[in-house]
Amino acid sequence: MFCYQFLNLKIFVIMIAIFVIAILGGVRCASITFNNSTSFGVATSAYQIEGAWNENGKGESIWDYYTHNTRLITDNSTGDVACDSYHQYKVDIDLIKSMGLKQYRFSIAWTRILPTGQIDNINQKGLDHYSNFIDALIANGIEPVVTMYHWDHPRSLDILGGWNHPKMVTYMRDYADTLFFHYGDRVKTWITINEPHSVCVVLAQYLAARVDSTFPLGTSEYMCAHHMLLAHSEIWGLYQRKYKRTQRGKIGIALSVQSYFPATDSLEDKLAVERVYEYTFGWFINPLVFGDYPTGMKKGIQSRSLQQGFQESRLPKFSKLQQITLRQSFDFIGVNNYISFYVRADRTLSQNPSFTNDRQATVFEDPEWNTNYEKKIKIYTTGLGNILRHIRDNYKNPVLFISEQGYNNQGGLNDTDRVLYIKSALKVVWNAINVDGIRIKSYLIWSLMDVFEWVSGYAPKLGLYSVNFTDPKRTRTPKESAKFITEFLKTKTLTLS
């Protein structure tokens, strides 16, 4: 009898043990953990947060000019004060540190360092400001990831022609040289230019619509991008020759990489998706990886230009030497990813010279996404996975930074939609690294806090922290997403549900 009971007990204990092991095993399977090869951080840019637009010798940037003198901005707001980060950078550092983040991607205002844009006039106070800032970041265990140009070039250089002028390549190279010289001992990760497509296409279209209807669309987009690519590769070359041996830093560029789905299953729409990728992303990464623009773009713009009465393509050509200099001129590619779109082939667009007409596609969002954010987030983050594999397969699997990822909503501290978005994106990123073999080194959230959102003023909210823009102190308050990030970073583990 005793023996029988003992046997039963033994079986019971074994069953419990099996049960516990199964549960633990299951729990382990149902979670993912990032290892130390991926760094986490947040991103911002100078004009969007600093304020102090004319303090301590800073020169006028194009955004100072646009916000003060034109009707470009929807609500007429300015970045004159913004988040006041010029004065409160130590507060920002505390917030980043308190969340457990290890990288901060910020940009340097060109006009604080070189008020007129050219190197004959260096502003010592500007140099000191970023030097102190970089030191403070490092002292707090946060690695500075520095963007040299986040859209706010000097107004005086714009008068000289801005990115439509080839000389801009030299001005940007000299500016970069100044940054390497003064900060390269401490800054080891540089991003030359942020989202050339947004400046050369999106801003140009806004300027044409709201500021100057004579803006030369259809030509300026291509010239602007051409000079940005050349500036990037010159800076890369300069660094390799002059600084790499002693400073040992890495240089990349941040590209806007949204994802696109065909509106229907038709071959026409699928080809239109390919075209849209080419005109937004291939336009930049193709020269950086292979030394030239994508063949489809070259052929398409050439033939339309000739039909339109031009003597040559509106898309400029690279010389052989430029092609060699461009090829593989990066250590990493920054991927700025936010949303997805549907794409429909459109052959009915007008024949006038224009970037949109060249692309021959209509890009749109599904109206249902406005009422169903879960569905929207699913398609956004599925799109992120697709685009990461697209880069791996078509551009030699480069090292990537997710240099921006963020979610735009109406504001409020209870941002469960943003938490869901970040969680879903993190799962996609984990999968990309661990299953798809994609080399992602950093994941940077846009943004640390709500900021000046360019032509849309302060209405869009993308921050982990909310900023009270009516309070002179610009108080920052954590949202649910900031709390989520803090918790996540304690273990870098996510449960899959």
Active site residues: 195, 404
Q: Binding mask 322-361 vs ligand NOJ (x if CB under 6 A, - otherwise)?
A: --------------x-------------------------
Please enumerate, as own/partner, the contacts of 461-465 that have beta carbons within 8 Å and a separation of 24 or more.
461/408, 461/409, 461/410, 461/411, 461/412, 462/406, 462/407, 462/408, 462/409, 464/42, 464/99, 464/418, 465/95
Taking the alpha carbons at both ends of the chain, their separation in whole angstroms is: 47
**Minimum separation from the CB atom of position 48 to ligand NOJ (A):** 6
Q: Between 48 and 466, whose beta carbon lies closer to ligand NOJ?
A: 48
Q: Between 112 and 314, whose beta carbon lies closer to ligand NOJ?
A: 112
- Which amino acid is residue 145, in one-letter code? V
Q: Which residue in this structure is represented by tokens 């046997």?
A: 7
Which residues between 200 and 259 bind ligand NOJ (CB under 6 A)?
Answer: none
Interface residue with ligand NOJ, options 39, 194, 337, 356 (CB under 6 A):
194
**Minimum separation from the CB atom of position 358 to ligand NOJ (A):** 23
Q: Between 194 and 220, whose beta carbon lies closer to ligand NOJ?
A: 194
Q: Binding mask 284-323 vs ligand NOJ (x if CB under 6 A, - otherwise)?
A: ----------------------------------------
Interface residue with ligand NOJ, options 50, 152, 177, 195 (CB under 6 A):
195
**Minimum separation from the CB atom of position 112 to ligand NOJ (A):** 18
Q: Around Cβ 386, how many Cβ atoms within 10 Å?
A: 15
Q: Binding mask 135-174 vs ligand NOJ (x if CB under 6 A, - otherwise)?
A: ----------------------------------------
The helix/strand/coil state of 494 is strand
**Minimum separation from the CB atom of position 459 to ligand NOJ (A):** 12
Angle 390-462-476 from CA coordinates, rounded to 5°: 145
Q: How many residues bind ligand NOJ (CB under 6 A)?
A: 10
**Minimum separation from the CB atom of position 265 to ligand NOJ (A):** 31
**Residues in the chain, how many?**
497
Q: Between 462 and 482, whose beta carbon lies closer to ligand NOJ?
A: 462
The helix/strand/coil state of 205 is helix
**Tokens representing residue 267 in the block:** 């071959």
- As separate numbers, helices (DSSP H) first and strands (DSSP E) second, the chain gives 20, 15
> 480 CB contacts (<8 Å, ≥6 apart)?
413, 414, 415, 416, 418, 419
Chain-centre distance for alpha carbon 376:
20
Q: Binding mask 35-54 vs ligand NOJ (x if CB under 6 A, - otherwise)?
A: ----------x--x------
Q: Between 86 and 446, whose beta carbon lies closer to ligand NOJ?
A: 446
The helix/strand/coil state of 333 is strand
CB-based contact 363:341 (threshold 8 Å): yes
Q: Between 40 and 452, whose beta carbon lies closer to ligand NOJ?
A: 452
Interface residue with ligand NOJ, options 404, 415, 417, 450 (CB under 6 A):
404
Q: Binding mask 462-481 vs ligand NOJ (x if CB under 6 A, - otherwise)?
A: x-------------------
Residue 237 to residue 145: CA distance in whole angstroms: 19
**Tokens representing residue 308 in the block:** 């339109």
Interface residue with ligand NOJ, options 61, 453, 481, 485 (CB under 6 A):
453
The helix/strand/coil state of 178 is helix
The helix/strand/coil state of 256 is strand
Q: Between 336 and 356, whose beta carbon lies closer to ligand NOJ?
A: 336
Interface residue with ligand NOJ, options 284, 430, 446, 484 (CB under 6 A):
446
Q: Between 293 and 446, whose beta carbon lies closer to ligand NOJ?
A: 446
**Burial of 367 by CB count in 10 Å (0-12 exposed, 13-18 middle, 19+ buried)?**
exposed
**Minimum separation from the CB atom of position 452 to ligand NOJ (A):** 8
**Minimum separation from the CB atom of position 497 to ligand NOJ (A):** 29
Residue 472 to residue 468: CA distance in whole angstroms: 8
CB-based contact 73:210 (threshold 8 Å): no
**Minimum separation from the CB atom of position 311 to ligand NOJ (A):** 36
Q: Between 290 and 407, whose beta carbon lies closer to ligand NOJ?
A: 407
The helix/strand/coil state of 438 is coil
**Minimum separation from the CB atom of position 196 to ligand NOJ (A):** 11
Cis ω for the linkage preceding 447 (within 30 of 0): yes
- Which amino acid is residue 407, in one-letter code? Y
Considering the rule CB under 6 A, would residue 63 count as an interface residue with ligand NOJ?
A: no
Residues forming the site for ligand NOJ (CB under 6 A): 45, 48, 194-195, 336, 404, 406, 446, 453, 462
